Structure 1
Amino acid sequence: MSKKYIIIEMSDNSVWEIPASIIAENRAKYYETKDENYNDIFQETLDDEELLIDWAENNLSWQEVFPHSKCIKQPQVDYSDDWHNGEKNIEER
């Protein structure tokens, strides 16, 4: 059985994957405290991509999902462009 992941491209152009089950588990645990069925909420969250992303964006921080995340694409830095266009300073040491 395949697993679902939320894939996010960060501002530095790195790409990360977070298991969707982490987000679904968080939502199911929350609603379980409201007397909802954990398994039903967990599955509902996995099945509804908009709900999954909405819950992740509005109820979890990067610090909470980071331990479960995996960087699948490192940022590509163009030092040639930076050399020509980057801010330069002179310092004495």
Structure 2
Amino acid sequence: MGILTKNYVVVMEDGSKWAVPVRFIAEHRAKYFAEKDNVSIAESLNEDTSPLFEEDEYEIHDWAANNLNFSDVKGVAKMVSPPDVDYEDGWANGEYEIQEPTND
């Protein structure tokens, strides 16, 4: 199984885990360098990005964290673990306010 078939999984502030295909991140990087180096996206992916990601998985995180926003990946991201929230503690100790009812 190559690196491009794997998922990059990140833990959010609320404890939820989200998986993004490494291929999506790799293709984003390959497109950037294809334009910069005047080569095809396939060439950039196969000869530069994929070997880099295979050699050092930190490079996947580095590209994702520094060159993509969650809004860029939300269409392909999947929640793989729900939020880890203590609703009992929130109920007893959370911030509160009194509001008019909404018409939902």
TM range (shorter): 0.7 to 0.9
TM-score, scaled to structure 1: 0.84
Cα offset, 1:91, TM superposition: 5.4
Question: Residue 75 of structure 2 corresponds to which residue in structure 1?
Answer: 67
**Alignment counterpart, residue 29 of structure 2, candidates 27, 33, 36:** 27
Question: Residue 15 of structure 2 corresponds to which residue in structure 1?
Answer: 13
CA distance in 1, matches of 2:89, 2:95: 11
CA distance in 1, matches of 2:50, 2:84: 36
Runs of 4+ in 1 over 3 A off after TM superposition: 88-93
Q: Structure 1 residues 79 and 40 mapped into 2: Cα distance closer, same or farther (>3 Å)?
A: same
Q: Structure 1 residues 44 and 80 mapped into 2: Cα distance closer, same or farther (>3 Å)?
A: same
Cα offset, 1:62, TM superposition: 0.6
Describe how 1:66-85 pairs up with structure 2 within 5 A.
66-85=74-93
Cα offset, 1:50, TM superposition: 1.3
TM-score, scaled to structure 2: 0.76
Question: Which segments of 5 or more consecutive residues in structure 1 lack a partner in the other structure?
Answer: none
CA distance in 1, matches of 2:72, 2:96: 37
Question: Which segments of 5 or more consecutive residues in structure 2 lack a partner in the other structure?
Answer: none
- Per-residue deviation, residues 8-52 of structure 1 (Å, max 9, x unmatched): 110011111011111111111111112253221231243121111
The letter of the residue matching 1:44 is P
Query: Is the 1:21–1:46 contact (alpha carbons within 8 Å) kept by the matching residues of 2?
Result: no
CA distance in 2, matches of 1:28, 1:90: 51
